[in-house]
Amino acid sequence: MAELTGDRVEYSNRHRGIDPALAGAAPAANQMARHFGEQGDDERHTERRISRLSEHDRRDDRAERGDDYQPYGEPMPPSRLAVAVSAVLMACACQSPNHGASSPAASTIPIPNRLCNDVHGVWDGKAGRCKLSKDVNGALIEVTAAYPADLVDNPPSGPVLTSFVRKFFTDYGETDTNGKGSANLSSQVLTRAGITKTVVFQSDWYFSSMPHPSAAITTFTFDSQRQLQLTDLLCPGVDPLTAIPPIAHPYLQRALDGSPFQVEQFEPDHPEGALVDGYQAWALDRDDLVLYLPAERGPGGISPGAVSPHIPLAQLAPILRGKGCST
């Protein structure tokens, strides 16, 4: 704004017919105009300084965050925009549903579940148990089987154990002649050297058509390749029923301490040995051979496995395959 001073002010006032009394306001007006003009200049200078500082701060932020950081409101260079769009599209593709062969929805049912479904039971994964409840001609039947799912799921044990469990459900859950009752199967896994595993099944059942409850112990032993029989542990040609009793005798006596039974009842080379059951129920438990005598409920109601001598394998070394065999 032009400043009016001295004679020029007076001449201008007279020329334009302005009252001299009002002319005194001109210096004040000039001063106010100068003040506001300077203030405006200061504000514009401050705005420019703030803008420069903000830009400087944004550059510092980008330096701290990395070259790829782009503040809100600033345009992204085309090259970076293309990279960002590609990344988003790839993320969407990775998260999209996949209904192919590897999808959980399309995966096969675990064998324990499938086995339980095959026998029309309900599988309890936490307990590792399959339960069947049904009404057969007005008689309630309950069949429960607990078995090691990992061994049922894998060879060489899988086919053998699956067949055994399936037969258990068939025998006690698919008949209408037993009457009302229940059957239960429990299991235990014993190991030796982390390779050989024995599954010990204990079953018991009772139906209204039976005079008394019954029970049995059934064992299956596997190495990494196949199922083992007791003869597989011994030297070729050695009969377990003649070679084991002399070695097992002291351990059998110890297991019978305090019982009403005689040792001869559990030895196959004696006429009284009715409770031997041919050593059909046995296990390898760490460094011992365990014999479950009898394998089934015996005369007088003796329970399966009532006598279970543990015979150290070291004592059996003279007849063990790979240890004392001469051939």
DSSP state letters, 194-228: TTEEEEEEEEEEEETTSSS-EEEEEEEEE-SSSEE
pLDDT computed for residue 305 by the predictor: 96
Residue that has been written with the tokens 């503040």 in this structure: 71
Lowest mean pLDDT, pick from 64-68, 75-79, 102-106: 102-106
- Count the residues in the chain: 327
Binned at pLDDT 50, 70 and 90, residue 201 comes out as: very high
Name which residue leads in pLDDT, 318 or 136.
318
Angle at the Cα of 28 from the Cα atoms of 40 and 20, rounded to 5 degrees: 145
Q: How far apart are CA 186 and CA 205, in angstroms?
A: 12
Binned at pLDDT 50, 70 and 90, residue 143 comes out as: very high
Q: How far apart are CA 80 and CA 89, in angstroms?
A: 14
Cα-to-chain-centroid distance, residue 296? 36
**CB proximity list for 41: less than 8 A, separation 6 or greater:** none
How do residues 98-124 score in pLDDT, each as one tens digit?
444 444 444 455 566 889 999 999 999
Mean pLDDT score, 295-299: 84
Token pair of 167 as six digits: 């037969």
| Residue type (1 letter), 43 | E
Binned at pLDDT 50, 70 and 90, residue 8 comes out as: very low
Q: Where are the alpha helices (DSSP H) in the chain?
A: 6-16, 20-23, 25-65, 78-95, 111-118, 149-152, 157-173, 230-233, 240-255
pLDDT tops 80 at residue 292: yes
Residue that has been written with the tokens 């025998």 in this structure: 171
What strand order describes the sheet that includes 196-207? Answer: 122-124, 129-136, 139-146, 181-192, 196-207, 214-222, 227-228
Mean pLDDT over each residue of the chain, to the nearest integer: 78
Angle at the Cα of 309 from the Cα atoms of 308 and 313, rounded to 5 degrees: 130
Mean pLDDT score, 62-71: 48
CA distances from 80 to 83, 90, 186, 248 (A): 5, 15, 65, 82
pLDDT tops 80 at residue 170: yes
pLDDT computed for residue 89 by the predictor: 46
pLDDT computed for residue 179 by the predictor: 85
pLDDT computed for residue 42 by the predictor: 52
Cα-to-chain-centroid distance, residue 65? 40
Name which residue leads in pLDDT, 111 or 137.
137
pTM: 0.66
Angle at the Cα of 218 from the Cα atoms of 216 and 219, rounded to 5 degrees: 155
